[in-house]
Amino acid sequence: MTTAEFNEILDFAVAREEEAVAFYRDLQSQAKFASQKEMLKELELMEMSHIVTIEGIRKKGAQLNEVREIQNLKIADYMVHEPSDEELTYQNILIRAMKREEQSFKLYSEMGQRFSDPEISKLFKRLAQDEAKHKNHFEKLYDDFLSGGN
């Protein structure tokens, strides 16, 4: 794999993360409550951290020892649909975040299996791991929210 091809793949991943940043930024403008805006800003910052991670990989490569299994609570797996923009409640923000992280995890996992080049495979496994961490974070928040009697 050439450096240009590697950078093209990284550019794809950065563009995907930039879409997520824009998504959460747009939702912030629609949020009615400060707590919702704060949470959406946190989500935006998480997605921005993915971009930083990708750019770090561009400079240093993906280290194999960085890839590890993340616990999957599977809460998002049982969500039938994603709430619409009109239903911008705390619970629905968590659901949308879980589903978005789940979709990104699946995309990066598939990409990691699709490429035979070990460096590219490691890259996508690392990105999938980051998405799994964030999905797990939102699933725990959602579980805590439901356990609190809401």
Q: What pTM was estimated for this model as a whole?
A: 0.77
Structure tokens at 75: 């809460």
Q: How far apart are CA 13 and CA 6, in angstroms?
A: 11
Structural domains in the chain, sorted by start: 3-147 (1.20.1260.10)
| Sign of the torsion angle spanned by Cα atoms 140, 149, 77, 17 | negative
Q: How far apart are CA 142 and CA 140, in angstroms?
A: 5
Tens of pLDDT along the chain (150 residues) come to: 677 888 888 898 899 999 999 988 988 888 888 888 898 898 899 889 889 988 888 888 766 555 567 777 777 776 766 666 567 788 888 888 888 889 899 998 998 888 888 878 888 888 888 889 888 988 898 889 888 765
Cβ–Cβ under 8 Å, residues 48 and 102: no
